[in-house]
Amino acid sequence: MELNDLINHTSEWLKGTGPNSEIIISSRIRLARNLAKHPFSHRAKKPGQEEVLRSVEAGLADCHALKAALFLKLADLDEVDKQFLIERHLMSRDHALGDDHKGLAISDREIISVMINEEDHLRMQALQSGFNLRQAWQILDALDDELAAKVEYAFSNEWGYLTACPTNTGTGLRASVMAHLPALVMTKQINKVLQAIAKLGLTARGFYGEGTEAVGNFFQISNQVALGHSEDELIENLERIIRQVIEHEQNARDAMSRQDRMRLSDRIGRAFGTLQSAYIISSNETVDLLSSVRLGVDMDIVKDIDRSAVNELFILIQPAHLQKLEGKKLSSAERDVKRATLIRSKLIGNSHP
């Protein structure tokens, strides 16, 4: 597998299947790990970083889940490549800054990715489509067990796994879901829901995680602390709250459908029509309109286009993806034209709602 092959396949987490996939796009488990007897990344010197990268790569290459994986060195990538990987949710923005012996491993279908020498020596994630934290956890837990037999983790009997930032110490686990909550936004209930989530010890972030805005009515909801509970307890707690969020969103959708389905159909139909016929379109406008179309698919108002095609468009319309597709650098104005062309080609032929 090559980096440039990724764009030709739909990532596993975008398939639009799995439990509650009409509201929960994807589920993600991340583990932070560090090697024993090596300074944390931000204190490490170059030779030490190089050694960490080498031994982690060697260990990962031996693991069952990463047999066919793509191993990348950040130093080999240009800016568009890095942005492309961030857009696909395969690595963090921080990982793209500086390239001192940073590595990235990506498994088949992009289910697992592992950042090496990010804030921690290892940041491993598993992504699944729909509300499926258990499955993501099983996948990552298996990889973690396998890898633990090959490298020595920094672990304290008192604190658990040791990490660069104390909020990750303990389990090193962050569990999160990407929720699509357009009805809660439209009915202006979203702030109430987000406040309740915060009180329960969870955080809601934007489409690209920490520090990003909620575009397209997407909210990434995750646990705040990793310490004091087992992995199962942390996941169960998140699951319980997410089930409530799903119920609220579903109720809001039902109410809109009952009270004014025609106005909702109009909004969704116009969004679909605009996407099918624009010749110039910004990223922000696209994401807003795609959010309406996705809601239309989920509420059976838009037919003949499947959820995975809409999900995939959210990823493909991003700047680095457009440049990868075009095979060259594009200015912002050129991207707005390329984006509209791409969307038309993907949506036309699919009949109208």
| Interaction site with a second copy (CB under 8 A) | 262-263, 265-266, 269-270, 272-281, 337, 340, 344, 348, 352-353
Q: For residues 295 and 289, what is the distance between their CA atoms, to the nearest angstrom? A: 10
Give the residue with the Cβ less far from a second copy, 266 or 300. 266
Distance of closest approach, residue 190 Cβ to a second copy, in angstroms: 25
Q: How far apart are CA 243 and CA 232, in angstroms?
A: 16
Closest approach, Cβ 161 to a second copy, in A, equals 52
Closest contact distance (angstroms) between CB of 333 and a second copy is: 9
Which DSSP string do the residues of 220-288 spell out, in sequence order?
A: EEEES--SSS-HHHHHHHHHHHHHHHHHHHHHHHHHHHHHHHHHHHHHHHHHHHHHHH-SS--HHHHHH
Please say which residue, 100 or 285, places its beta carbon nearer to a second copy. Answer: 285
Q: Is 325 helix (H, G, I), strand (E, B) or coil?
A: helix
| Cβ proximity to a second copy, 149 vs 348, nearer residue | 348
Residue 25 near residue 294, CB atoms below 8 Å: no
At 340 the three-state DSSP class reads helix
Q: Which is nearer to a second copy, 76 or 262 (CB)?
A: 262
At its nearest, how many Å lie between a second copy and the CB of residue 326?
A: 16
**138 versus 282: smaller Cβ distance to a second copy:** 282
* Cβ at position 272, least distance to a second copy in Å: 6
Q: How far apart (Å, rounded) are the C-alpha atoms in residues 333 and 331?
A: 5
| Beta carbon nearer to a second copy, 86 or 271 | 271
Instruction: Give the nearest distance from C-beta 184 to a second copy in angstroms.
Output: 23
Which residues in the chain belong to E strands, given as ranges?
24-33, 70-73, 103-106, 112-116, 122-129, 155-156, 160-161, 173-180, 202-205, 218-223
